[in-house]
Amino acid sequence: LKPIEWRGDRLVLLDQRILPFETRYIEAKTVEDVAHAIRDMAVRGAPAIGITAAFGMVLALVEKTPSNTQEALKTLARAREILSKTRPTAVNLFWALDRMYNKAVELTSSASSVRELRDGLEKEALKIFEEELDAEIKMGLYGAELLEDGDTVLTICNAGGLATGTGLGTATAPIYIASMLGKRVSVIAPETRPWQQGARLTVYELMQNGIRTTLIADTAVGLVMYRRLVDIVMVGADRILLDGHVFNKIGTLNEAVLAHEFGIPFYVLAPTSTIDTRSRVEDVKIEERSPDEVRTVRTAQGSVYVTLKEVAVYNPVFDVTPPKYVTGIITERGVATHPLSINLRKLLNKT
């Protein structure tokens, strides 16, 4: 599975809008192509967007070669401008664009040609990709140690290779790595309404990678744990507070509380960059999205209504899981267990 592939003069992107109904790739050769792919959500998931945008900056110098490095910087500033307007709330997007532009400024002081500048930027974009993959491999190795031959993992949403762009993912990394190491690991993936990332993306990527996968309705998460069809829960995270509160896709709290009640280990996988060292739980606003996401479902024929158009809807994007229900947090620097507030700090201080 290669959601993002750099081919030297173009970016090949797996079109996630039409998954799992069609597997189609998009070629991006210009900044505008990349902007379009991000804006239209052919690429999704914070790390994947960051990586894609970074290569978009390289393409700025590929699509037409500026006459000198000063002109090249102007071209890159315009590219950053265009790319930054694609998804206004994506933190990884701005982080990647700034890193690429700052690298360009740094290179301009020494680079003798636009070609040299372009090669330097290409290296930087590949480095962003590799750093992401490296973190996922480390999380995957820590997580794989917790998996035994024959285990079944319950997850939620898509914290997979599609979301990160590397093909490995965060919550899925231990599953892929354990599987490569010869352990038979199965996955139960809940549909994850309202966006159905479980049914549309997780199921697709796990099956593509030969992992035995069972789809369930979100209503069935309790029963699969009660009946011991699950050995361990592994989920991603959007934001982790220093006291151990985990913000992740709506439905994570359900799994965490049920796992805690039925004595099943519940692990969160995320790079240390996900740890928010400043906010307290009461500071974090739980974002609500359009009621139509709940009133409709995404199908091969587009979005279709499943209820009355006029029904009132509460559609929170994520929920918050108190530290009490979290067995451990797996990062690229190691696994933090209880007391989370102390052990997360220790991980952050590690180098």
Among 109, 301, 349, 351, binds a copy of itself (CB under 8 A): 301
d(CA 1, CA 11): 15
By CB under 8 A, tell whether 311 contacts a copy of itself: yes
Q: Lay out the site mask for a copy of itself across 237-276 (x = CB under 8 A, - = otherwise).
A: ------------xxx-xx--xx-xx---------------
H or E element in which residue 216 lies: strand 212-216
Phi, psi dihedrals of residue 60, rounded to the nearest 5°: -55, -35
Residues paired with residue 269 on neighbouring β-strands, in sequence order: 330
Among 7, 182, 312, 349, binds a copy of itself (CB under 8 A): 312
Stretch of residues binding a copy of itself (CB under 8 A), selected from 76-84, 166-174, 212-220, 342-350: 212-220
Long-range contacts from 77-85, C-beta under 8 angstroms, 24+ separation: 77/101, 78/31, 79/31, 82/31, 82/32, 82/35, 83/31, 83/34, 83/35, 83/38, 83/53, 83/56, 83/57, 85/35
Residue 238 is among the residues annotated as catalytic for this protein: yes
By CB under 8 A, tell whether 228 contacts a copy of itself: no
Among 29, 32, 319, 334, binds a copy of itself (CB under 8 A): 319
Q: How far is CA 348 from the centre of its chain?
A: 21
Residue (21 or 25) nearer to a copy of itself, CB: 21
Contact between 185 and 211 (Cβ < 8 Å) = yes
Q: Lay out the site mask for a copy of itself across 102-141 (x = CB under 8 A, - = otherwise).
A: ----------------------------------------
Contact between 46 and 90 (Cβ < 8 Å) = yes
Amino acid identity, residue 341? Answer: S
Among 191, 205, 238, 332, binds a copy of itself (CB under 8 A): 191
Beta-carbon contacts of residue 312 (< 8 Å; ≥ 6 apart) = 291
Stretch of residues binding a copy of itself (CB under 8 A), selected from 33-41, 68-76, 78-86, 202-210: 202-210
Q: How far is CA 216 from the centre of its chain?
A: 22
By CB under 8 A, tell whether 205 contacts a copy of itself: no
d(CA 68, CA 114): 6
Number of residues that bind a copy of itself (CB under 8 A): 61
The backbone region for 274, taken as left when phi is positive above 0, alpha when psi lies in -120 to 50, beta otherwise, is alpha
- Quote the least distance from Cβ 321 to a copy of itself, whole Å: 9
Among 82, 126, 294, 347, binds a copy of itself (CB under 8 A): 294
Among 8, 64, 308, 349, binds a copy of itself (CB under 8 A): 308
Task: Point out the residues that are catalytic.
Answer: 238
Binding footprint of a copy of itself on the chain (CB under 8 A): 20-21, 156, 188, 190-194, 196, 199-200, 203-204, 207, 212-224, 226, 229, 249-251, 253-254, 257-258, 260-261, 286, 294-295, 297-301, 304-308, 310-316, 319-320
